Structure 1
């Protein structure tokens, strides 16, 4: 139960009053139902006995009848209020939990894990958070309500005749405690298998949908379909085991209710015959004893879901404890510099060698610097560091002041299922259509958008579906151009474009660089030719640099991949 402690603390801190109120209203609903059943039994029995005697004329039917109506209204109102309060409180707590989890994944390690395994972690943030709603709705609240109702019924029976309480004193610990514990313990393993099977089924189905071309080319379509069916078979087997456990639990709880009825009858009948209690009280006791065990019925499902909730809590708890520290802005660079780096050192977790080691670099305001080098030399890592995605172990980094201070065009195409206009307005929410079209013209997409029937209102699919990879890259560049930052970070901006399109784009981009410090990471000669200065990165350090117009500049260009 240790993984549940941060979850329980969150429930208690976020909506304490609502959660307690929901449990109280659940108890009121159960108590009103038991009282309604018992009072109805008392009323019917008392009315029948009064009809057999001369007391029928004096028997008051109005007060019991009014009590029955009142209890029916109380039960209905309490049930409505209980559903409203408990579900609202649970949904609000889960919303807060999701926010904390997102903040936990905002740490460097969390973001990297999210990028490596997005399908699994998305499952954790959705289905596994939803699994925690059973912790309150099906375990804590029903258990609290059932205990309160049991104590109230036992107190009532004890006041009527102490002997009437003995059957429930024996059966309640068995049916209300031992039975749910046995179900929860027996359901742990199939519950874990069910959760693992659901996760595998979803991830494999997503892989089949998103990677269908790759699977088809590799001849693995049938194997992927077989793996999906295997996960579905495991899921069906786990659910069958859980359903059998629930059926057995329902049968045992029913038998416990019948035992309570028989036990109470065997005690109430002699007491009524001896005149210790009246026959109507005996009828009330019988029905109340039978109904009180039904208060534990919701715990059957809760016990089945407890294993899934425990597994979800075990997986989610670390991210609840690991909150991202507030981002500290980099200091302001010296006057005349857009970027100032000194002796930076960065090492990935578990790596022996640092990616950046004693790295120093300056980029002047209005200067374009191209960072070149072999794959894995640390060029994109430096951009991630400057954009705040990762943090250096040591060294000093500062940026020119501004809002925003940097604009980063990464190799990832981050487009959303929205219109072209909506994707561009993310960078400049107040931009006019004329300004958006100007940015698109600079990125080489102006004629393409103008030819579309809906223009800027054209809807894109998920991930920018509907655009080619080259068009998506140019749309990303147009979005970057809408952000007036003192430092632009461009990671291979024309990768995937043909030579003619790329050269035309770079020609339009060159005048836009004026007034901005620009750091371009590239393997391509055509992109490096934009730069006023080339910097060769090797072994995490600056191995060479050259300014435009020098022989070293041309020598470094010759080492790059031709257009």
Structure 2
């Protein structure tokens, strides 16, 4: 049975390996080369200085001593350490950023599955946290855990081999101490920091949510007299975070002290063994100096594991949160095309409702002719929006068969971002030219904006009216150029004059398209040539415009 940590981190590791295997290997080798070059530089420098000092005791030794080879080797090691450190930073960070970018794309696809986005939008702060803090935390798995561990292990093994040439037991002892300390100290630090690290992560998330609520809900907070209370809650959370940070700093300082004690113990032990070997005549003073400095330098790479160990609980929590969405999400199968002359055809379509006995849609049989304008009416909860979702292929029918031509959906809630009109329109057609964007805006009645395509729009449509926001949505639909337009109460919450203007634009733009409108407003249903009445998830009636029942059903709708 897998250890819980391995089970949590395996999907992330698999993602790194699948996408950046070569870069990961290169980064690990460069990190090891950097650590080895630094260790060898210190050891060789000590040997060179000691050997040069001993050679200076006699004229004959000075003449025979080779100064150039060791000094050239020292320079080479210094250059190699600099080059490998630069290469390691470039390769490892590039690989990590590429994997995290791919992970964000996977998460977006996972959240686009039926129901997932709806559940997540109820807590937008969580969405922000998953896309930022949680994903950013995963970079530590490779950069601060795997790479330092590989480099430290390589240094320990090479140092053990070099020291083993001088004395086998000395080499084995140093390797054993380094490996044991390199595992035990980070593990103890991770265990000690786990509770505070996880508490800190949750507190940061909660505090970000409070801050978002403070900014976005300041009007409601002021109206209810809760503005100061919300600000005080954020300040209190900051104070708790400061106390947790102090505890984590104490844990990190303890781990640093532990590695310092190990370094002192290794240095003292190697010094005693080297002194004994020199006294016994087995090695000279210069090799003894090399052994002491090499052992001392070999401890340094293990200190880098300290930070990774402190972050490991947070990395595990992020991986556990994101694991359900790490797998590639298979796209919904496309609907088959309906017969010629037909825009959509549903046969015995049922859509089950999670956690409820009654389905959202029950045995829907519907055929819509190409070019027809259909208004779907009925009380709230009758299934109008669910039927539009089926036609838009936002959800998959639980049973039945659906054949629908390509669609474009316009809902009451339009996503408008803080950017220019041009970039907001390009969400519908990323490669569209400025001319095509201008034509679409003009066709939707959006040409009156003073800055044209360069008009800057605030987040959520700040700076433009509600009617202009609906026209922007119309322009996007024009750019999509789908044969079926699906409209969910397109003029809801607009004043009567603006609503009639939007309806006029719709009538002008939809002459050659199939239009399906879900509505309970008379003005929206009036330009349809067919009414479909829904109740309790079923279609209970269908009226053509020429029939008397059409006018009667229209009269029952909410007036303009």
Work out the number of aligned pairs and report it.
554
Query: Is residue 462 of structure 1 aligned with residue 459 of structure 2?
Result: yes
Q: Which shifted more, 305-314 or 62-71?
A: 62-71
Cα–Cα, structure 1 residues 380 and 73, in superposed 2: closer, same or farther, change >3 Å?
same
- CA drift of 1:26 comes to 1.1
Quote the residue 2:347 is aligned against.
342
Cα–Cα, structure 1 residues 382 and 231, in superposed 2: closer, same or farther, change >3 Å?
farther
Quote the residue 2:296 is aligned against.
290
Cα–Cα, structure 1 residues 170 and 530, in superposed 2: closer, same or farther, change >3 Å?
same
Distance 1:168 1:508 in 2: 81
Selected match of 2:146 from 140, 147, 151: 140
> Does the 8 Å CA contact 1:378/1:537 hold for their aligned counterparts?
yes
Quote the residue 1:9 is aligned against.
14
Query: Is residue 40 of structure 1 aligned with residue 41 of structure 2?
Result: no
Q: Which shifted more, 436-445 or 286-295?
A: 436-445
RMSD: 2.1
Quote the residue 2:390 is aligned against.
385
Selected match of 1:243 from 249, 252, 256: 249
Distance 2:241 2:452 in 1: 47
- CA drift of 1:514 comes to 2.1
Give matches, 1:348-497, under 5 Å.
348-400=353-405, 405-427=406-428, 439-440=440-441, 443-446=444-447, 448-449=448-449, 452=450, 454-497=451-494
Query: Is residue 266 of structure 1 aligned with residue 272 of structure 2?
Result: yes
Give matches, 1:5-84, under 5 Å.
5-54=10-59, 55-84=61-90
Query: Is residue 527 of structure 1 aligned with residue 533 of structure 2?
Result: no
- CA drift of 1:502 comes to 1.8
- CA drift of 1:442 comes to 5.1
Q: Which shifted more, 153-162 or 505-514?
A: 505-514
Distance 1:248 1:71 in 2: 33
Quote the residue 1:155 is aligned against.
161
Q: Which shifted more, 65-74 or 108-117?
A: 108-117
Distance 1:53 1:431 in 2: 84
- CA drift of 1:464 comes to 2.4
Quote the residue 2:262 is aligned against.
256
- CA drift of 1:258 comes to 1.0
> Does the 8 Å CA contact 1:406/1:486 hold for their aligned counterparts?
yes
Distance 1:351 1:117 in 2: 23
- CA drift of 1:519 comes to 0.7
Q: Which shifted more, 258-267 or 217-226?
A: 217-226
Cα–Cα, structure 1 residues 77 and 536, in superposed 2: closer, same or farther, change >3 Å?
same
> Does the 8 Å CA contact 2:40/2:294 hold for their aligned counterparts?
yes
Cα–Cα, structure 1 residues 263 and 437, in superposed 2: closer, same or farther, change >3 Å?
closer
- CA drift of 1:469 comes to 2.3
Distance 1:49 1:71 in 2: 23
- CA drift of 1:143 comes to 0.8
- CA drift of 1:536 comes to 1.4
Deviations 1:504-563 (A, max 9, x none): 332343243322221111111111111112111111001223222433222222221111
Deviations 1:257-290 (A, max 9, x none): 1111111111111211221110111111111111
Distance 1:374 1:397 in 2: 24
Unmatched runs of 5 consecutive residues or more in structure 2: none
Quote the residue 1:127 is aligned against.
133
- CA drift of 1:482 comes to 4.1
Q: Which shifted more, 370-379 or 97-106?
A: 97-106
Structure 2 SS opposite 1:3:
helix
> Does the 8 Å CA contact 2:156/2:179 hold for their aligned counterparts?
no
- CA drift of 1:411 comes to 1.4
Query: Is residue 89 of structure 1 aligned with residue 95 of structure 2?
Result: yes
Selected match of 2:104 from 93, 98, 108: 98
Unmatched runs of 5 consecutive residues or more in structure 1: none
Structure 2 SS opposite 1:392:
coil
Cα–Cα, structure 1 residues 399 and 174, in superposed 2: closer, same or farther, change >3 Å?
closer
Distance 1:290 1:437 in 2: 69
> Does the 8 Å CA contact 1:487/1:516 hold for their aligned counterparts?
yes
- CA drift of 1:202 comes to 1.6
Cα–Cα, structure 1 residues 57 and 484, in superposed 2: closer, same or farther, change >3 Å?
closer
Structure 2 SS opposite 1:520:
strand
> Does the 8 Å CA contact 1:420/1:457 hold for their aligned counterparts?
yes
- CA drift of 1:169 comes to 4.3
Structure 1 SS opposite 2:326:
helix
Selected match of 1:329 from 318, 330, 334: 334
Selected match of 2:557 from 538, 544, 560: 560
- CA drift of 1:39 comes to 1.0
Distance 1:428 1:15 in 2: 32
- CA drift of 1:407 comes to 1.8
Q: Which shifted more, 101-110 or 27-36?
A: 101-110
Query: Is residue 499 of structure 1 aligned with residue 505 of structure 2?
Result: no
Distance 1:539 1:155 in 2: 79
Cα–Cα, structure 1 residues 227 and 88, in superposed 2: closer, same or farther, change >3 Å?
same
- CA drift of 1:429 comes to 6.1
Quote the residue 2:311 is aligned against.
305
Structure 2 SS opposite 1:537:
strand
Distance 1:352 1:393 in 2: 14
Q: Structure 1 length as normaliser, TM-score?
A: 0.93
- CA drift of 1:62 comes to 1.5
- CA drift of 1:125 comes to 2.0
Distance 1:36 1:484 in 2: 67
Structure 1 SS opposite 2:106:
helix
Query: Is residue 117 of structure 1 aligned with residue 123 of structure 2?
Result: yes
Distance 1:465 1:7 in 2: 39
Structure 2 SS opposite 1:536:
strand
